[in-house]
Amino acid sequence: MKFGVFQTHGSSWTSFIFSSLMLCMWTSVECWSYYYSDKKMVWDEARDWCRENYTDMVAIQNKGEIRHLIKWLPKKDTYYWIGIRKINDTWTWVGTNKALTVEATNWARGEPNNQNKHLKGGAGEDCVEMYIQNRYAGRWNDERCTKLKYALCYTAACKNDSCHHGECVETINSHKCDCFTGFYGEKCEQVVKCNKEEVTTPDKGSVNCTHKYGDFSYDSSCQYSCEEGYQLNMSRPLTCTGTAKWSEQPPTCEPVQCQELSRPERGSIKCSDPLGLSSYQSTCEFTCNEGYVLSGSPSNTLRCEASGNWNSSKPFCEVVQCPALQELENGVASCGDDADMRFSYGNTCSFSCAPGYQLVGPSRVTCTSAAEWSEKMPRCEAITCKVPEGDAPLITQCSQPLTELRPDSNCSFSCEEGFELQGAKIIQCSEDGQWSEAIPTCNVLGCPAPEIPTSAKINCRPSPSSPASTVTPHPLGMVCSFTCDEGHELQGALSMECVNPGQWSSVPPTCTALRCPLQKAPENGQINCSNSEPVYNSQCYFTCNQGYSLDGHELLTCDTYGNWTGKNPTCQAPAPVTAIASAVTAGGALSLSGVPLAIWLLKRMKQKANKFELSSNSDITAPQEFFKNSVDSLI
Ligand SMILES: *[C@@H]1O[C@H](CO)[C@@H](O)[C@H](O)[C@H]1NC(C)=O
Ligand SMILES: *[C@@H]1O[C@H](CO)[C@@H](O)[C@H](O)[C@H]1NC(C)=O
Ligand SMILES: *[C@@H]1O[C@H](CO)[C@@H](O)[C@H](O)[C@H]1NC(C)=O
Ligand SMILES: *[C@@H]1O[C@H](CO)[C@@H](O)[C@H](O)[C@H]1NC(C)=O
Ligand SMILES: *[C@@H]1O[C@H](CO)[C@@H](O)[C@H](O)[C@H]1NC(C)=O
Ligand SMILES: *[C@@H]1O[C@H](CO)[C@@H](O)[C@H](O)[C@H]1NC(C)=O
Ligand SMILES: *[C@@H]1O[C@H](CO)[C@@H](O)[C@H](O)[C@H]1NC(C)=O
Ligand SMILES: *[C@@H]1O[C@H](CO)[C@@H](O)[C@H](O)[C@H]1NC(C)=O
Ligand SMILES: *[C@@H]1O[C@H](CO)[C@@H](O)[C@H](O)[C@H]1NC(C)=O
């Protein structure tokens, strides 16, 4: 039941509106138009009727709107409910729930009075009516809401789909679209587009664009991503803005960076950076100086991973540790003051032993880089003196068992009978494991070895029947006899006996060489002797002057008895030839006489029988041999 449809404007009212009024067609939509009911109803019914059939009850907001309604509504003396009500004692525009401004009100004089002159008390006039007539056009009166009046409604020109991407704004006889950012066109149906070409794909990366309103259009978003190990230098997506520009420059993909590694203390680092310093795929190898080992990481090489982390924690160089030294029994190992470094590479431990003990092994050891000590551990051995072992007749008695001859131990010595101790009677083991004195010896109680006379032989026997003895010194009872060499004469005692310690029965004899009488050259002849002195075995050769003949032996030898062998020669004046011949036939040896000569002849004949040819020299020396043998066999 619409009585009429009039266009009006939307939000702000000006006098200009009225000069340009236009009629909206019934079929036309999107005009802000007024309507009134042909039936009276209470205020609440009027509001419902307006809201169901139109947009809402007219909410007078200014005087301009009132003037328009006065002009448009039929000039009959009628009251219309309008959209103003008292809520919580405040006059309120029901469509907006806003308090009425004083400026917008158009109360009739004396209104609102909240009184009804027909009712006692006059309270409860909470709704507003507008009176339309010539005299009081558009004036307001507060009235009880249960009164029956005509409803005054309006319809808005804007529908919820009037503008696609914008806000619908009521205009005088129409509406317009205020487009949201990124949209344009009459109904804001056009979307702004950004340049697709600007969305470039970076090296090692890719881009994924999502489009809300159309390809590469307003609010399209292009999210970049990189291959493993690379990262964007800007993580925000490219967004197409309302100004048809992308929000950002396309990013690039850079290798992921790991924290830069530093050189470890007491070590070194060697890195390989195929993609950049400390970047994805970089590897760093750690090494330690001598005496240090890597620790804190399962391997010596670290790799920068795609996550930006090294594949294991950074290693450090730890000093090499040698095995802890055992306590030194009966001694002290001293390894320095730094407790942490005691058994570390390069440290030296020195050793010392308690008093009475001596170090066997090195006095110091050093921890090497191979985690081993430079030498085997020493030990402290109890200092003992060597067992004082003497020869058989020495009797040793020690204060301690022989295996425990520690310093301060004493050993005393004595000798078996017939011997005497030479050296210390008691020796003491000193702190350094040495005996205070040399181990003594036992000397035989007897006589000193007798001096052997020149050219003599000695023969000592403990008793006349026992074999010769070499024992020195000579024990008591020892008898020593002397013999002189050939050609020598013994003077003194033949033998002597050790009668008391150090005392022989006599002094040793002497052997003096035998001398033959001095030979002279014969008259009319010469002599030639082997020795200047006529001692045993000297020989003298005789020759006669020319014309003289030798009588006797031409060679004489000094024998063991001090006699010259043979007859002293003489040189004879020339004689008749026959006499000489017979003498030669008998042989020179005929001049010899006595038993030795006979034996010598026999011997010579025997040798001749054996076809043994003797020289003239052998002829002469042979008797000597014989004599010597004869003398030996005679003794
Ligand atoms: C809306 O208008 C129709 C037709 O005039 C009427 O039948 C209906 O009752 C109205 N609605 C309300 C709530 O009054
Ligand atoms: C009116 O006042 C009451 C109590 O003070 C409150 O609960 C209610 O919300 C108010 N109503 C409006 C429309 O302001
Ligand atoms: C417009 O509003 C009506 C009623 O409120 C609703 O049914 C309809 O779906 C809306 N249309 C749009 C395009 O929002
Ligand atoms: C692009 O991004 C969307 C939304 O995040 C996702 O569903 C889609 O799978 C992505 N496409 C590619 C090719 O990554
Ligand atoms: C990313 O790197 C490129 C190339 O170096 C440069 O042009 C751009 O400005 C960088 N972007 C940012 C956000 O730093
Ligand atoms: C880390 O990477 C290096 C180089 O590839 C490798 O040798 C090492 O074993 C890795 N470390 C670990 C803990 O995986
Ligand atoms: C060894 O002799 C010395 C000196 O007589 C003495 O002081 C010491 O106690 C002796 N040692 C032993 C173990 O008897
Ligand atoms: C003495 O005899 C030796 C040996 O036959 C001979 O060498 C030497 O010349 C002789 N001397 C004289 C003075 O005849
Ligand atoms: C040596 O000569 C002396 C004196 O002529 C004589 O008495 C003695 O018997 C001789 N000795 C020998 C062994 O012929």
Q: Concatenate the DSSP letters of all residues of 437-465 into one string.
A: SPPPEEEESEEPPPPPPTTEEEEEESSTT
Q: Is 494 in the pocket of ligand 5 (CB under 6 A)?
A: no
pTM of the model: 0.46
Ligand 5 pocket: which of 201, 230, 234 to mutate (most atoms within 8 A of CB): 234
| CA-nearest residue, atom 2 of ligand 3 | 160
| CA-nearest residue, atom 6 of ligand 3 | 160
CA–CA gap between residue 407 and residue 385 (Å, rounded) = 7
pLDDT of residue 501: 83
Question: 450 — phi, psi (to 5°)?
Answer: -70, 150
pLDDT of residue 173: 55
pLDDT of residue 168: 84
Locate tokens 């040819």: which residue?
613
CA–CA gap between residue 543 and residue 551 (Å, rounded) = 10
Residues with Cβ within 6 A of ligand 4?
A: 208, 210
Encoded tokens for 294: 């890597």
pLDDT of residue 112: 87
pLDDT tens-digit series, residues 103-114: 888 898 888 887
Q: At what angle do helices 595-609 and 616-634 cross, to 10 degrees?
A: 120
CA–CA gap between residue 320 and residue 300 (Å, rounded) = 16
DSSP state of 35: E
Cβ count near 545 (within 10 Å): 11
Ligand 7 pocket: which of 402, 410, 429, 431 to mutate (most atoms within 8 A of CB): 410
| CA-nearest residue, atom 3 of ligand 3 | 160
| CA-nearest residue, atom 8 of ligand 7 | 408
H/E run at residue 630: helix 616-634
Task: Show the DSSP H helices in 212-304 as ranges.
Answer: none
Question: 579 — phi, psi (to 5°)?
Answer: -60, -40
Q: Closest ligand 6 atom, CA of 297?
A: 13
Distance 282 CA to ligand 6 centre (A): 12
How wide is the angle at C-alpha 514 spanned by C-alphas 513 and 515, nearest 5°? 115
The CA-based dihedral angle spanning residues 242, 247, 250, 251, taken in that order and rounded to the nearest 10 degrees: -160
Q: Are 506 and 496 in contact (CB under 8 A)?
A: yes
Q: Are 317 and 267 in contact (CB under 8 A)?
A: yes
Q: Closest ligand 5 atom, CA of 254?
A: 2
pLDDT of residue 511: 92
Encoded tokens for 439: 């181990």
Cβ count near 561 (within 10 Å): 13
Query: In sequence order, what are the residues at sequence separation of 6 or more whose Cβ sits closer than 8 angstroms to the Cβ of residue 570?
Result: 522, 523, 525, 550, 551, 552
Q: Is 428 in the pocket of ligand 7 (CB under 6 A)?
A: yes
Distance 149 CA to ligand 6 centre (A): 92
CA–CA gap between residue 584 and residue 226 (Å, rounded) = 149
pLDDT tens-digit series, residues 432-448: 889 999 999 888 788 88
pLDDT tens-digit series, residues 48-63: 999 999 888 987 767 7
Coil, strand or helix: which one is 97?
Answer: coil
The CA-based dihedral angle spanning residues 581, 583, 589, 590, taken in that order and rounded to the nearest 10 degrees: 150
Question: 49 — phi, psi (to 5°)?
Answer: -60, -45
Coil, strand or helix: which one is 627?
Answer: helix
Cβ count near 32 (within 10 Å): 23
Q: Is 161 in the pocket of ligand 3 (CB under 6 A)?
A: yes
Q: Which residues pair with 169 in a beta bridge?
A: 176
Residues with Cβ within 6 A of ligand 2?
A: 87-88
**603 HSE (CA, 13 A, CB side):** 18
Locate tokens 């006589």: which residue?
447
Question: Sign (positive/negative) of CA torsion 622, 625, 631, 635?
Answer: negative
Ligand 1 pocket: which of 40, 41, 49, 148 to mutate (most atoms within 8 A of CB): 49
Judged by phi (left if over 0) then psi (alpha if -120 to 50, else beta), residue 312 lies in beta
How wide is the angle at C-alpha 368 spanned by C-alphas 362 and 369, nearest 5°? 170
Q: Closest ligand 9 atom, CA of 594?
A: 14
| CA-nearest residue, atom 8 of ligand 1 | 49
Indicate the residue type of 134.
N
Q: Closest ligand 3 atom, CA of 161?
A: 13
CA–CA gap between residue 144 and residue 124 (Å, rounded) = 6
CA distances from 93 to 53, 60, 96, 98 (A): 20, 8, 6, 5
Question: Sign (positive/negative) of CA torsion 163, 165, 170, 172?
Answer: negative
387-391: long-range contacts, CB 8 A cutoff, minimum separation 24: 388/413, 388/427, 388/435, 388/439, 389/439, 390/439, 390/440, 390/441, 390/442, 391/441, 391/442
Identify the structural domains of the chain with CATH numbers, from first to last.
2-184 (3.10.100.10), 192-255 (2.10.70.10), 267-319 (2.10.70.10), 331-382 (2.10.70.10), 394-444 (2.10.70.10), 456-513 (2.10.70.10), 525-579+599-634 (2.10.70.10)
Pairing of strands 78-87, 149-155: parallel
Coil, strand or helix: which one is 357?
Answer: strand
CA–CA gap between residue 16 and residue 571 (Å, rounded) = 208
Low-confidence ranges of the chain (pLDDT < 50): 1-31, 579-602, 604-635
pLDDT of residue 597: 47
How wide is the angle at C-alpha 565 spanned by C-alphas 560 and 567, nearest 5°? 155
End-to-end CA distance of the chain: 197
Q: Closest ligand 3 atom, CA of 159?
A: 1
| CA-nearest residue, atom 8 of ligand 4 | 208
Q: Is 1 in the pocket of ligand 1 (CB under 6 A)?
A: yes
Q: Which ligand number lies closest to the CA of residue 91? A: 2
Encoded tokens for 372: 């081993």
Encoded tokens for 407: 């310093």
CA–CA gap between residue 464 and residue 88 (Å, rounded) = 171
Indicate the residue type of 103.
E
Residue among 150, 167, 131, 141 at smallest CA distance from 11: 167
Cβ count near 432 (within 10 Å): 9
Q: Which ligand number lies closest to the CA of residue 616? A: 8
| CA-nearest residue, atom 13 of ligand 3 | 161
